[in-house]
């Protein structure tokens, strides 16, 4: 009988480094934002890059370092559920994590508004029985945005909070609107909002107009993660390090950090060959 291990030879190998390499410029930007947030200036950083480029890993490495420095990390990701993405999914997870990490601050921040908050977090209190449709529905949604903003602001009054939202390319409209509201509305608090998304989206993807809108906001920074390539491996990487995906030559990009104030840059041009998320 043939050696069953031979079957593994046919499996495509993805080289994954257990060591985090490169991304020094991006980490500098994130730590700078963390320091400003800790000083009471709310910050926001968008992190874009094509599938597999290392967005999650960067967020994980950074948030682990931020947590070691005493920040509270509340993370939530969007889920690929097709056309009917669940409303507010990443905010629900992140607020839940925040409530677990800072129960007293969270309760004090939510006091008197528990029933409205229950629309996002059912465990926060009894659900309000006001209708969700028509004008009342719109007013309720506006109040929910406002409530979330104040909740974050107050919970982040004493502790630095990093709200890390992942996979925004799968966000539903309510998540996009709430993110837009949070980043457009002036607020206070030791809050850093990170929002990561895949840049290889179709041209008409609904996240694109939001990114363009956010790009015009002062104070929102935008990191666009370039791929590592065999020719240009990350600084300090071991000789054996290999990228998990080799790009076509026409789309190779520099591995220099590309953090710039968002207002001064053009929108990304994703490689047409890459499959786009829905």
- Taking alpha carbons only, the member of 222, 197, 177, 243 closest to residue 46 is 222
- Least CB distance from residue 263 to ligand ATP, whole Å? 25
Binding-site member from 38, 49, 90, 247 for ligand ATP (CB under 6 A): 49
Which are the contacts of 54, defined by CB distance < 8 A and separation ≥ 6?
23, 225, 228
The piece of 22-30, 47-55, 186-194, 221-229 that touches Mg ion (CB under 5 A) is: 47-55
Selection from ligand ATP, Mg ion, none that 181 binds (CB < 5 to 8 A by kind) is none
Q: Which is nearer to ligand ATP, 141 or 237 (CB)?
A: 237
Main-chain dihedrals φ then ψ at residue 192, nearest 5 degrees: -120, 120
Selection from Mg ion, ligand ATP, none that 180 binds (CB < 5 to 8 A by kind) is none
Task: Report how far residue 188's alpha carbon sits from residue 69's, in angstroms, rounded to the nearest whole number.
Answer: 21
Which element (helix H / strand E) includes 98?
helix 89-101
Quick one: how far is CA 102 from the chain centroid? 21
Hey, how many other C-beta atoms are within 10 angstroms of the C-beta on 29?
21
- Taking alpha carbons only, the member of 41, 10, 23, 14 closest to residue 160 is 41
Q: Does residue 268 bind ligand ATP (CB under 6 A)?
A: no
The piece of 35-43, 51-59, 173-181, 263-271 that touches Mg ion (CB under 5 A) is: 51-59
Q: Does residue 56 bind Mg ion (CB under 5 A)?
A: yes
Binding-site member from 27, 41, 51, 217 for ligand ATP (CB under 6 A): 51
Task: Report how far residue 137's alpha carbon sits from residue 261's, in angstroms, rounded to the nearest whole number.
Answer: 36
Q: Does residue 53 bind ligand ATP (CB under 6 A)?
A: yes
Selection from Mg ion, ligand ATP, none that 99 binds (CB < 5 to 8 A by kind) is none
Task: Report how far residue 29's alpha carbon sits from residue 35's, in angstroms, rounded to the nearest whole number.
Answer: 10
Selection from Mg ion, ligand ATP, none that 251 binds (CB < 5 to 8 A by kind) is none
In the complex, which residues of this chain contact Mg ion (CB under 5 A)?
Answer: 55-56
In the complex, which residues of this chain contact ligand ATP (CB under 6 A)?
Answer: 16-17, 20-23, 49, 51-57, 198, 244
């Amino acid at each position: 009988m043939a050696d069953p291990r031979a079957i593994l030879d046919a499996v495509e190998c993805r080289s994954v480094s257990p060591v985090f390499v490169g991304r020094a410029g991006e980490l500098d930007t994130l730590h700078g934002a963390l320091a400003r947030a800790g000083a009471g200036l709310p910050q926001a950083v968008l992190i874009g890059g094509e599938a597999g480029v290392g967005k999650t890993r960067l967020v994980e490495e950074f948030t682990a370092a931020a947590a070691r420095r005493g920040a509270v990390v509340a993370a939530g990701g969007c889920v690929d559920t097709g056309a009917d993405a669940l409303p507010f999914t990443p905010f629900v997870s992140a607020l839940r994590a925040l409530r677990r990490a800072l129960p007293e601050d969270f309760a004090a921040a939510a006091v008197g508004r528990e029933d409205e908050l229950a629309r996002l977090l059912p465990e926060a209190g009894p659900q309000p029985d006001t209708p969700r449709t028509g004008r009342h529905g719109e007013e309720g949604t506006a109040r929910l945005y406002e409530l979330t903003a104040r909740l974050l602001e107050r919970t982040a009054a004493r502790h630095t909070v990093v709200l890390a939202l992942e996979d925004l390319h799968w966000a539903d409209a309510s998540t996009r609107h709430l993110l837009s509201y949070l980043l457009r509305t002036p607020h206070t608090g030791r809050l850093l909002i990170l929002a990561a998304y895949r840049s290889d989206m179709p041209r008409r993807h609904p996240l694109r107009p939001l990114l363009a809108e956010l790009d015009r906001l002062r104070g929102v920074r935008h990191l666009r993660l370039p791929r590592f390539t065999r020719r240009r491996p990350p600084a300090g990487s071991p000789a054996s390090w290999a990228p998990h995906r080799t790009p076509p030559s026409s789309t190779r990009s520099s591995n220099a950090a590309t953090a710039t104030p968002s207002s001064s840059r053009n929108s990304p041009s994703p490689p047409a060959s890459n499959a786009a998320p829905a």
